[in-house]
Amino acid sequence: MKTRRLGRTGLQVSEVSLGTWAFASQVYGTVKEKDAFDAVDAALDVGINFFDTAPLYGDEKTNGISETLLGKALGSNRDRVLISTKFGRYSNEGGAANFSPARARESVESSLQRMGTEVIDVLFFHSPFGFEDIHDGVWEELANLKDEGKVRFLGHSISLFDKTEEMGREWARDRKIDVFQVVLSMMNRETSKFITDMGNSDLGIVSRESLANGFLSGRITKETVFPANNLNSRYSKEEIGERVDYVTSLEFLLRGQIKSMPQAALRWVLDQPGVSTVLSGARNRTEIIDCAEASDAEPFDDSEHQRLNKNHMRDFPAA
């Protein structure tokens, strides 16, 4: 597993990292606790040192189920790794935005307790939808939390990119944050210029949804029927078929060291200028081991990127 510098934080992060959204949210189906623990153990075994979670990754009663699982799974290995979590959206509040100073402090202290740790390496704003979501005094409280040693660096996890890109750019110009988390995949590239620009400004970039909510896993077919609580249940049969056809058109990328579509998808992300690490949403040991191999694979060559850009420039909306 190769590592890269997470922008001006100076932190060295594994090229492939592990996101824990699926552990508790049920968005991709049920994940057994044993499978979650096995995924974390396997991630450690293959050299992954960056793990992402959030209070929102819980259920309608309990915030941060994934944080709790991650803390238990890491155990005494906490000092070997870097952890990012978020604040501002909570599962027991239906995901509504709350970026107030008091909630920021309560969120950080609750996250630390759930994960059994003393410090959050990167704390992300969890997808504010506009400047109006940010309460007066929140930056001062975040500075206090940093001074107290509870948070090392601040980040912005961007959603609704077309509406919030300028917010991110302003925060970067003002040096308020150090890391961005953004959607990027072969099925959604709208953030590409932003990533390049931020990388050139020495901001860390964490790529998420890089398997396009599972479509780039190669396991979804035109006959797949998603249960109601699955994130992809919002698509019609025709939309599913369109996405499956697109993924099939990318199979020319499976060659040499690239033996699976997840490896191809993550390798493509790692080839993009500015990317620090790509999150895998692996749900078990097998999936994370497969994804991790993208780091050791040779980058795609110019002809492969040219073929992809010339004949395969479809973009689909992000979740």
pLDDT (tens digit, 9 = 90+) per residue, 129-147? Answer: 999 999 999 999 999 999 9
- Strand-pair partners of 185: 188
SS (H, E, C) the chain: CCEEECHHHCCEEECEEEECHHHHHCECECCCHHHHHHHHHHHHHCCCCEEECCCCCCCCCCCCHHHHHHHHHHHHHHHHCEEEEEECCCHHHCCCCCECHHHHHHHHHHHHHHHCCCCEEEEEEECCCCHHHECCCHHHHHHHHHHCCCEEEEEEECCCHHHHHHHHHHHHHCCCCCEEEEECECCECCCHHHHHHHHHCCCEEEEECCCHHHHHHCCCCCCCCCCCCCHHHHCCHHHHHHHHHHHHCCHHHCCCCCCCHHHHHHHHHHCCCCCCEEEECCCCHHHHHHHHCCCCCCCCCHHHHHHHHHHCCCCCCCC
As given in the structure block, the two tokens for residue 207 are: 């790529």
| pLDDT at position 26 | 67
- Going by pLDDT thresholds of 50, 70 and 90, the confidence category of residue 307 is confident
Mean pLDDT of 105-116: 98
Q: Which of 43-52, 200-209, 249-258, 268-277 has the lowest mean pLDDT?
A: 249-258
Q: Which of 83-87, 183-187, 221-225, 307-311 has the lowest mean pLDDT?
A: 307-311
Mean pLDDT of 199-209: 97
Q: Are 38 and 48 in contact (CB under 8 A)?
A: no
| pLDDT at position 24 | 82
pTM score, two decimals? 0.95
CATH topology for 3-311 is TIM Barrel (3.20.20)
Mean pLDDT of 3-32: 89
| pLDDT at position 313 | 56
Closest CA relative to residue 182, chosen from 68, 276, 261, 41: 276
As given in the structure block, the two tokens for residue 197 are: 């620009």
pLDDT (tens digit, 9 = 90+) per residue, 256-290? Answer: 999 999 999 999 999 999 999 999 988 899 999 99
195 to each of 238, 276, 281, how far by Cα in Å? 31, 10, 20
Contacts of 281 (CB under 8 A, 6+ apart): 19, 21, 22, 28, 209, 211
Q: How many CA atoms lie within 13 A of 122 on its CB side?
A: 32
| pLDDT at position 117 | 97
What distance in Å separates the CA atoms of residue 84 and residue 123, rounded to the nearest whole number? 6
The catalytic site residues sit at 57
Q: Could you tell me the residue ranges of all domains in the chain?
A: 3-311
Closest CA relative to residue 183, chosen from 162, 152, 153, 166: 162
For the chain, percent of residues with pLDDT exceeding 70: 96
Q: In the block, which residue shows the tokens 């107030």?
A: 100
| pLDDT at position 199 | 95
258 to each of 14, 103, 248, 261, 286, how far by Cα in Å? 19, 44, 15, 8, 16
